A = this chain, B = another copy of it.
Amino acid sequence: MWRYLKRLLIGKPLKTTDEGGQSLTKFKALALLSSDALSSVAYGTEQITAVLVVLSAAATWYAIPAAGIVLVLLFAITMSYRQIIHAYPSGGGAYMVATRNWGTSVGLIAGGSLLVDYMLTVAVSVTSGTEAITSAIPVLREHSVAIAIIIVLFIMTLNLRGMRESASFLTIPVYLFIILLVSMICWGLFNIATGKLSYAAAAPVGSVVPGMSLVLFLKAFSAGSSSLTGVEAISNAVPNFKKPKRKNAANTLAIMAIVLAGFFAGVTFLSYYLGIMPNSKETVLSQIGMSVFGHGIFYYLLQLSTAMILAVAANTGFSAFPILAYNLAKDKFMPHMYMDKGDRLAYSNGIISLAVGAIVLIMIFHGQTSLLIPLYAVGVFVPFTLSQSGMIIHWLRERGRNWILNLMFNFLGAFISLALVIFLFWLHFWNVWPYLLIMPVLIYFFYKIHDHYITVATQLRLRQEANLHQYDGSTVIVLVSSVTHVTTGAINYARSIGDYVIAMHVSFDTNPKKEHETANEFKESFPDVRFVDLHSSYRSVASPVLRFCDVIAKNSAEKNYTTTVLVPQFVPRKPWQNILHNQTSLRLRAVLNSRENIIVATYSYHLKK
């Protein structure tokens, strides 16, 4: 049944050769790779005003200069990522750029940050999307955690099916969002111009706000820097572009930056002009949409498209995480299972790990976007800093055409990213401290895993001739719990492989009569097989079995025999029925596997009914 369910949800297996290259046009690439960046409009402005409004409503005018600085940063970071596109046309993920230029340790910091960050991308996008839904339909608000989890599971399922073939439909929500946001901003500005929307700002730009300080301003601005997340996506995906790859990628990045800048500026201005205050019940974007469009179809379309583009943004995490995990696994820093491709050619383990991580984050933070964002921003800007600074080293080494200019751009990018990291740790420490805990643990495990794989490989390698050995025979111990059809089959089999067969039974019944029952039954059915009855004063079967098998194995070795322990079990017709049986044989096999010189075999008797 599980198999049918899996087929239904995941689809039928694909051949390895079905994997094809994809070539993205600029139009499609803009949609697929920019959803993460563009969707941050849904929470970016809100993050700034939410910090300012704590002081006073009047302080919210500072959102305008804060947004201005964010736009300058956007320009600088875009320019510096254009450098990466040109320098690493094979896809310049931060892990790769940092490893190449800074070395393994720094690369692992970047990689580890990104792993966590992709989980946060999913968590932030999905919770923010849920907020877009609950802003429009307030009755759903109390179920927001459940809604967010369902969305994550849904996106996970699509990815386990191998999203690739369905990629085209993902462009729809992105362009729908672009159309609606352009409409909202234009219609809003038009109505302001014609006086239909009245000026309602809490305080005019430039007015003196008591209590306002530089620290608060920096705090607001650094919170707003979350709008810059996702800018790196295009530079990671250069190989997927149509030729000329670099040029197309660089141009797409420029277009995206312009669209994002326009959206961010427009939303921040409208939010200021309409005097909108962030609150926990309705998002800022929803409030703007309501003011501009009124309570009608366009408002609901806006909310729907916001939720949808955020879902697409979450999906970018699902594309990026498994590939990063694959690369880390290939370099032996993560378990090899992240290299296994599933039936549908997706890296299932990476996809499932990501979904689990995101769901845990959503539950820990009760589905509140604003609590997740500072951590998210740190997870983004640390790898930004490392890859941009790595590019400085790159230019110093390569010294190609215009290298000084290129270096300057990357220096600017690295400097801004580093400053943002410092601001975030300084001003948002209480949201960001888990990063300081998670990263050392992750790096520690990366190295631990790496060491392990290296040690194992050396131990297993055949250095000279294979060490062939001719045994003289084999001893087989058959474990018997009661005398049934299973026992008969197991004994028959044991005789076919063994030169010497012993049956063994553990009894711990305090009733001595019953104790001998199994022995008598066995001797009656198999008079010429040696039967050993062990008595245990404890309830554990494992230790007496192990002790006995050790003795037999030692004797066998002296005779130059191998030792096999045969564990008979019956297989019920339906898999769920297994939990009703075989607990003991599972435990025994686990224990016996701890012995070098004992081979564990399982005889399975299949029940017909």
A interface residues, Cβ below 8 angstroms from B: 13-17, 335-337, 340-343, 345, 449, 452-453, 455-456, 459-462, 465-471, 473-474, 483-488, 491-493, 495-498, 508, 510, 525-526, 537-540, 561-562, 564, 566, 570-572, 577, 579-581, 583, 589, 593-596, 599-609
Contact status A510-B473, CB under 8 Å: no
Q: Assuming the A-B contacts A16-B510, A455-B609, A510-B16, are A469 and B492 also in contact, with contact meaning beta carbons closer than 8 angstroms in the complex?
A: yes
In the complex, chain B residues whose CB is within 8 Å of the CB of A345: 539
In the complex, chain B residues whose CB is within 8 Å of the CB of A607: 455-456, 459
Complex CA–CA separation, A484 to B458 (angstroms)? 10
A304 vs chain B, min Cβ distance (A): 30
In the complex, chain B residues whose CB is within 8 Å of the CB of A583: 336-337, 340
- Kindly list the 3 A-B residue pairs having the minimum CB-CB distance in the complex, ordered from nearest: A601-B601, A471-B496, A466-B525
Contact status B497-A580, CB under 8 Å: no
Q: Assuming the A-B contacts A492-B471, A525-B466, A596-B604, are A540 and B343 also in contact, with contact meaning beta carbons closer than 8 angstroms in the complex?
A: yes
Complex CA–CA separation, A582 to B403 (angstroms)? 49
A607 vs chain B, min Cβ distance (A): 5
Interchain residue pairs with CB less than 8 A apart (8): A16-B539, A340-B583, A343-B538, A453-B580, A455-B609, A456-B570, A462-B484, A497-B564
Q: Assuming the A-B contacts A452-B580, A470-B495, A496-B561, are A538 and B601 also in contact, with contact meaning beta carbons closer than 8 angstroms in the complex?
A: no
Contact status A602-B604, CB under 8 Å: no
In the complex, chain B residues whose CB is within 8 Å of the CB of A609: 455, 459
Complex CA–CA separation, A473 to B340 (angstroms)? 38
In the complex, chain B residues whose CB is within 8 Å of the CB of A486: 460
Besides A466-B526, A596-B605, A599-B603, 19 more A-B contacts (Cβ < 8 Å) are A13-B538, A14-B538, A15-B538, A17-B510, A335-B580, A336-B581, A337-B579, A342-B539, A343-B539, A452-B580, A462-B483, A462-B488, A496-B562, A497-B498, A497-B564, A599-B602, A599-B604, A600-B601, A600-B604
